[in-house]
Amino acid sequence: MSEKREVVIVGGGFAGLSAGVALADRGFRVTVLERKPALGGRAYSFQDTDTGDFIDNGQHVLMGCYTQTIDFLGRIGSRDKLWVHPNLEIQMLERGGRSGFLRTAAIPGPFHMSAALLRYRLLTPRERWRVVAGAMRMMRMRGRDPRMLEVTTVANLMERLGQGERERQCFWYPIALATLNDDPGIASAGLLAEVIKRAFFGRRRDSAFVYSRVGLSDLYCSAAVEFIEKRGGSVRCHQMVQTLELDTGAAVARLRMRDRSAVEADAYIVAVPAPHLLRMLPEALSRETYFARLAGLGVSPIICIHVWLDREVTDAAFAGFIGTATQWLFNKRRIFVQHGAHHGGYLSFVISGARALVDLPNDELLAIAMKDLRAMMPTAANAKIVKALVIKEKQATMAPDLESHRLRPPTATPIHNLFLAGDWIQTGLPATIESAVLSGYAAASAVAARAGVSRAA
């Protein structure tokens, strides 16, 4: 390319920044526009003024099978900010002090996962075999009739696979809630099957948890900016895009900003959640079938309750809770390498698919989390709360319901110079960081293919 082609990307979350990095790498001049004062979108962190600790809006867990995300973090030089566990090892707790480990064996995948399930002490030997047989049948169904799984809820699939209450509560539903972020009676089994295939039927390391050792924003935002700027691009915050304006040939001519200024480029990637995109479309476009159907996509909430206690109550980095409203506990003192002024234990509780709880007042949610903690960990019986913070993300992710497969759009739009990215784009994955990065890379490849550029510059 003699003169660099200009691409404007709207949205500075994982999708927008990964698209920007991929295009800057291929020699495009990239401008990322983000409406907020800081980058990160739905995966961000900030420093707490009282404790000095870094707080993520919600604990984010990656898995070894997040190959695109790990590639992105590697490209921008952030891979060493991750804890990458070699194996899956999760302690699942139940009331009354019962616990079991989901721990993969040191044998090649996919046998590592069968071995983990067959040693999972919260289930009886018969229940363990039922889970293994159920997972294998699910994979056969995925191969033979993926469409059938897409229009079946997780709960209905469990029925068909003959999974009893214990198998559901101790294994399937914790995984489904954590990865799909919705009630098993709503979420699509097609997405669960994709997760199970990638996480448990691949290499041993694909099943392991991966998480950031630093606040989420520090993991990828400034490194992505540096990468893009070194290659002649720019990333600008406080830039609210109001409307996409079309020219007479039905291409995007410019972006109209909230301050009425205009931004022009050869191609545009819009990497914002669907409701934000719909607000940006001119009237004529919002009626087009491709765009009109996006209004049917639902959302699902996540609640994260951050609690500082006057003491440490566990050595574990994380644990799953079975049979309580709170589903996961993360011990930030064990996870983060950055610590503020030390206030005993800093714990984060996660409630995914939190439709039924999201409108409760914060003090009730805190009381629920503490009740659940004390039920699971007797060591917390006398611990006192020093500080607490409840973060409700009401639109945390797209609802992974049965309609979502039909409604999620591909990256290319009917407008030849407009492409979409975001975790909710049709990637075949639930709305996760991996889906966001996959969509960002796909949008970058589509822009590059249109411009006749295929390799890195």
Q: Interface with ligand FAD by CB under 6 A: which residues?
A: 10-16, 33-36, 41-43, 57-58, 60-62, 239-241, 271-273, 276, 280, 302, 304, 393, 396-397, 422-423, 431-434, 436
Nearer to ligand FAD, 167 or 423 (CB): 423
- Strand partners for 33: 10, 236
Q: Give the H or E element holding residue 393.
A: strand 385-398
Nearer to ligand FAD, 58 or 184 (CB): 58
- Strand partners for 318: 330
| Sequence-separated (6 or more) residues with CB below 8 Å from residue 296 | 403, 407
The least CB distance from residue 170 to ligand FAD, in Å, is: 20
The least CB distance from residue 264 to ligand FAD, in Å, is: 16
Nearer to ligand FAD, 163 or 397 (CB): 397
Nearer to ligand FAD, 87 or 242 (CB): 242
Nearer to ligand FAD, 228 or 302 (CB): 302
The least CB distance from residue 239 to ligand FAD, in Å, is: 6
Nearer to ligand FAD, 104 or 397 (CB): 397
The least CB distance from residue 166 to ligand FAD, in Å, is: 25
Distance in Å from the first CA to the final CA of the chain: 10
Q: Angle between the 189-200 and 173-180 helix axes, to the nearest 10 degrees?
A: 100
The least CB distance from residue 325 to ligand FAD, in Å, is: 16
The least CB distance from residue 268 to ligand FAD, in Å, is: 12
Q: Angle between the 67-75 and 216-230 helix axes, to the nearest 10 degrees?
A: 60
Nearer to ligand FAD, 190 or 422 (CB): 422
The least CB distance from residue 194 to ligand FAD, in Å, is: 13
Q: Show contacts of 108-114: CB within 8 Å, 24+ apart.
A: 108/203, 108/204, 109/200, 109/201, 109/202, 109/203, 109/204, 109/206, 109/207, 110/200, 110/201, 110/202, 112/87, 112/204, 112/207, 113/88, 113/200, 113/201, 113/207
Nearer to ligand FAD, 161 or 303 (CB): 303
3-state secondary structure of 179: helix
Q: Give the H or E element holding residue 74.
A: helix 67-75
The least CB distance from residue 341 to ligand FAD, in Å, is: 25
Q: What DSSP line would sit under 124-157, residue for residue?
A: -HHHHHHHHHHHHHHHHHHHH-HHHHHTSBHHHH
